[in-house]
Amino acid sequence: MTPFLRSLPGTTALVLDSPHSGTDYPDDFAYACALPTLRCAEDTHVEKLYDFAPALGASWVEAFFPRSYLDANRDTTEIDVSLFDEAWPDPVSTDAKVMSKVRLGKGLVWRTTDDGVPIYQRKLSVAEVQARIARCWEPYHAAVAQAIDSAHQRHGYSIHLNCHSMPAIASSHATEFPGDAHADFVVGNRDGSTSSEPLARLVCEHLQGLGYSVSYNHPYKGVELVRRYGEPLQQRHSIQLEVNRKLYMDEQTLDMHEGAVPLKASLQSLVQLLLQTDPRKL
């Protein structure tokens, strides 16, 4: 098993992954900003919020590397060429919307934190970023793809829940809506392109029924992991789920607080609902 991720096989049609909760900072990162500043990029404790899932038969994939080192929820073409001391030899996206995130410093390899603080005081080499892709991005995506393929083969359909957290207030360089106060949950399926609408509505309505505020496809629609693996016409459903960090942690100290207990119970009820749901019958 690669030391950069954990992949636990399941027996059900449900696959969960957490690409941004990693806290193992590799020695070759050589970042220049303060570590507490950099750690604000993490989806801190998301892996703990869902630690019940493997015992219920769901597949689980989790990144150990931090998203600021390499963001597994970005395509390998989402490259900020200004980071390098030489020409980047591989393809670079020409999609204007995709590259708007890169210009904010949030490409495959981050240039700045969510608050616009520069991460490096050096230029990166092509070789070191290519090595990050080989060590982190490729194994992570292979693990998610394998888990979804296996779930689909077992059951004729798969449900992929891409698990994230978000700050209570959008940071200046995090989204196109800086300063927005986030809902308790944001459910994203790229405007209905990565999961069926009935399945997404089921998730929204379940969370609303538990008393949470829920936003649908705003300000987070879902990014590379749901885009790449969500094919609802093939009964491969992918949904990105963002949970507001204020519900379970102190955003300054990064410590979990007492709210984590009821939140975890709510997430378990959602997972149990999805385990009982055949999207072909919705």
When mean pLDDT is compared across 31-35, 154-158, 164-168, 177-181, the lowest value belongs to: 177-181
Percent of the chain scoring above 70 in pLDDT: 97
pLDDT of residue 214: 98
Q: What is the DSSP string of 44-95?
A: TTHHHHTTTTGGGT-EEEEE-S-TTT--TTS-TT---GGGBSS---S-----
pLDDT of residue 174: 60
pLDDT of residue 1: 43
Q: What does the alpha-carbon distance between residue 158 and residue 134 come to, in Å, rounded to a whole number? A: 27
Element (H, E) at 129: helix 126-132
pLDDT of residue 173: 58
For 60-102, how does the pLDDT look when each residue is reduced to its tens digit (9 = 90+)? 999 999 999 999 999 999 999 999 999 999 999 999 988 888 9
DSSP label at residue 109: S
Q: Is the pLDDT of residue 172 over 80?
A: no
Average pLDDT of the chain to the nearest whole number: 95
- Please give the CATH architecture assigned to the domain spanning 5-281: 3-Layer(aba) Sandwich (3.40)
Q: Are 100 and 176 in contact (CB under 8 A)?
A: yes
Q: Is the pLDDT of residue 245 over 90?
A: yes
For 1-19, how does the pLDDT look when each residue is reduced to its tens digit (9 = 90+)? 457 999 999 999 999 999 9
Q: What does the alpha-carbon distance between residue 54 and residue 15 come to, in Å, rounded to a whole number? A: 9
Amino acid at 272: Q
For 26-65, how does the pLDDT look when each residue is reduced to its tens digit (9 = 90+)? 999 999 999 999 999 999 999 999 999 999 999 999 999 9
Q: What does the alpha-carbon distance between residue 65 and residue 43 come to, in Å, rounded to a whole number? A: 12
For 104-156, how does the pLDDT look when each residue is reduced to its tens digit (9 = 90+)? 899 999 999 988 899 999 999 999 999 999 999 999 999 999 999 999 999 99
For 213-242, how does the pLDDT look when each residue is reduced to its tens digit (9 = 90+)? 999 999 999 999 999 999 999 999 999 999
Task: Give, in order, the Cα–Cα distances in Å from 54 to each of 51, 103, 137, 148, 274.
Answer: 7, 37, 23, 14, 14
Chain position carrying tokens 């998730």 = 203
Amino acid at 46: V
Tokens at residue 123, please? 């230029």
